[in-house]
Amino acid sequence: MTHGFDLNSPLVCEGIIGDGCGGGRIFYVANEKLQVFDPTTQESFVILDNVSNVQKISKSGCVITLEYPDQTREFDLSSMQTQTLSIQ
């Protein structure tokens, strides 16, 4: 548990310091929203609404990947844009 977040949960991922955007912050889905927790300020912010049915999130660099049952989307933190990668 880091700052009260279960990093083993598929709906939680940690930004690695030095990997691009959001290093050291915790990204998570709660209440159908993609949120970010800043451990320095102890504050959470909503960065994307309407993310219901997300099964897993992961982060690499400035991109958060959101895996749904029927598609995969990428959310780019630098542009704050979402792109659908694949529809199954």
- Domain assignment present for 44: yes
- Measured CA distances, 11 to 7, 21, 41, 81 (Å): 9, 18, 22, 20
For residue 80, give both structure tokens.
């704050």
Q: What CATH number should be reported for the domain holding residue 20?
A: 2.40.10
Read off the pTM: 0.89
- Domain assignment present for 4: no
- Domain assignment present for 32: yes
- Domain assignment present for 24: yes
Number of domains in the chain: 1
Residue 23: per-residue pLDDT: 82
Residue 22: per-residue pLDDT: 82
- Domain assignment present for 1: no
**In 3-state terms, what secondary structure has residue 51?**
coil
- Domain assignment present for 5: no
Q: Could you list the residue range(s) of the whole structural domain that residue 62 is in?
A: 12-87
pLDDT in tens, 11-46: 999 988 877 788 889 999 999 999 999 999 999 999
- Domain assignment present for 57: yes
